[in-house]
Structure 1
Amino acid sequence: MRLCIVGIGLLGGSFALGLKDKFPGLTVIGVDSNPEHAQKALDLGIVQEILPLKAAVAQADLIVLATPVNAIVSLLPQVLDLISPAGVVIDLGSTKELICTAVKDHPKRKQFVAVHPIAGTENTGPEAAFASLLPGKTMIICEKENSNPEAVQMVEELCRKLEMRISYMDAASHDLHLAYVSHLSHISSFALGITVLDKEKNEQNIFDMAGSGFSSTVRLAKSSPEMWAPIFTQNGKNISEALTSYIEKLQIFKKIIDQQDETGSYTLMKEANEIRRILQGI
């Protein structure tokens, strides 16, 4: 099999490295608009060669779009125009509804499988990629019924080879749920980072006093704005709804603290502790 990765960063690079572990003879072709990233991917052995998009797609059995979601919306119709009759294209974007809508009437729509791996770190670029990122994680497949069964089967088999769990949902439900369990947490982390930077002008104080709790909570604030700004735009309606609920909870906490209501804060935190049971095993 010949694999083409468009956008050789954390997710695209990790997908390639994971499959190379499982298929030693796999050929990986890279496409990247950043020449430094392209060269780094070659140096790290993530890809064997770098080609322009048209040439890469023509040679590939599976094309993986791992760029920011705004680029996926514009690239996907182009790739479907170029793809061979037996080729399959997937995207790894964190939004799905707009991406699926962009090609809903494309004559080769059935050669596209919309997927989202629930995996990642705050790091970016080819050097952030590692083969063990995806095993044990969940791959969401959206609008399965709009893709060729053979294309879906190929993706499912690769996910199983990577030891990933597979989940299915429609694109709208995906975007709604991700607004709460992923996108909101990134906004919360960005906001906390800005709040601390605004208050603590002395960087040494931040370094000296920040414990593991702060570090883990603000970790996502190190994430790529180039990747996340388009996600916030594309899923804006759902994220705004999530933010409204989140802000209401923050206001309740503020009121309880202002009123020195220790019983109230204890009750809220015990309610929140229920998340421990739900997240066991993740």
Structure 2
Amino acid sequence: MDNIVVIGIGLIGGSMVKDLKKVHPETKIIGVDKNPEHINQALVSGLIDKKGTLESVKDADLVILSIPVDASVALLPEVLDLVSDHTLVIDVGSTKLDFCNKVEHHVNRRNYLACHPIAGTEFSGPQAAINGLFKDKTNIICEVEKTAFKLQERGLRVFSDLGMRIRYMNPESHDKHIAYVSHLSHISSFMLGKTVIDKERNERDIFDMAGSGFASTVRLAKSSPNMWTPIFKQNKTNVIETLDEYINNLNQFKILLEKDDFEAIFNEMKNTNRIKDILKGIA
């Protein structure tokens, strides 16, 4: 690949081009970002080779769309309006149905590969970009059959260069499943953090007692609200369904406590312990 245009130079897009540059050092990385500070940071650190504009996608071999999902869905048709026949456009959004529906009838739909690399940290911005973020992580690809075959192949080579595993899924199933394993996790983390912060206002020493368990559980609460609010908005129906089930489980646990039914509590936790085997090998 001669040119890669990354739109949105943050954790995901930045980490992608960081690894791809190692594999393909001759590739020119062009950065597009509405935040001038992000552009400057990316240039100084060598994350990108030059600043670009939306027009830069015309000459790109690969376009990585890595901005919040609401902005990304809105911009995707404009990007497809500009690309040449040989350009592959991918997004990295945590929702997929709105993306696929938005460009379903676009004349250049064949240039777009809908995907979701499931990787990340709680940090954001160009300085959060790291090597190896995607190694051995899963990438969900949706509606692969709607992408031109030669561009499918290019996408698979890119994901192989990043060290990713590939799974194929329809966008409806993706959004439903990801609501459980990702979106609900973030809501739980944000709300646990809120609960403790609200309590800390009256009990100043509460964080002195916080151990590693609390820190790991609220880690996701450090994530960017600018990124996650649009995700919850786009996947609202599925997120509400998962929240209903989660709240029901919390209420049932509370009822068991009120009834002093600690045998049932023990059995609930013991049955849930099998998640250790299900998640074995996942960092």
Match of 2:26 in 1: 25
Residue 100 of structure 1 aligns with an amino acid whose one-letter code is C
Bigger shift: 66-75 or 17-26? 17-26
Match of 2:53 in 1: 52
Report the alpha carbon displacement of residue 234 of structure 1 after superposing the two structures with TM.
0.2
Match of 1:86 in 2: 86
Q: How many residues align?
A: 281
Match of 1:258 in 2: 258
Please list, as runs of the form range in 1=range in 2, the aligned pairs for 1:237-276 lying within 5 A after superposition: 237-276=237-276
Distance 2:202 2:32 in 1: 42
- The DSSP-based 3-state class of the residue aligned with 1:114 is strand
Q: Does structure 2 retain, via aligned residues, the 8 Å contact 1:28–1:47?
A: yes
Report the alpha carbon displacement of residue 129 of structure 1 after superposing the two structures with TM.
0.5
What stretches of structure 1 move > 3 A for 4+ residues in a row?
A: none
Please list, as runs of the form range in 1=range in 2, the aligned pairs for 1:145-164 lying within 5 A after superposition: 145-164=145-164
Report the alpha carbon displacement of residue 200 of structure 1 after superposing the two structures with TM.
1.4
The 1:210/1:152 distance shift into structure 2, 3 A limit, reads same
Residue 16 of structure 1 aligns with an amino acid whose one-letter code is V
Normalising by structure 2, what TM-score? 0.97
Distance 2:255 2:168 in 1: 40
Distance 2:190 2:45 in 1: 31
Match of 2:234 in 1: 234
The 1:257/1:147 distance shift into structure 2, 3 A limit, reads same
Q: Does structure 1 retain, via aligned residues, the 8 Å contact 2:200–2:207?
A: no
Normalising by structure 1, what TM-score? 0.98
Report the alpha carbon displacement of residue 59 of structure 1 after superposing the two structures with TM.
2.4
Distance 1:180 1:80 in 2: 31
Distance 1:12 1:158 in 2: 13
- The DSSP-based 3-state class of the residue aligned with 2:218 is helix
The 1:206/1:35 distance shift into structure 2, 3 A limit, reads farther
Aligned sequence identity (%): 52
Report the alpha carbon displacement of residue 204 of structure 1 after superposing the two structures with TM.
5.0
Distance 1:203 1:113 in 2: 50
Report the alpha carbon displacement of residue 206 of structure 1 after superposing the two structures with TM.
3.7
Distance 1:4 1:253 in 2: 49
Q: Which runs of 5+ in 2 are unaligned?
A: none
Report the alpha carbon displacement of residue 207 of structure 1 after superposing the two structures with TM.
3.0
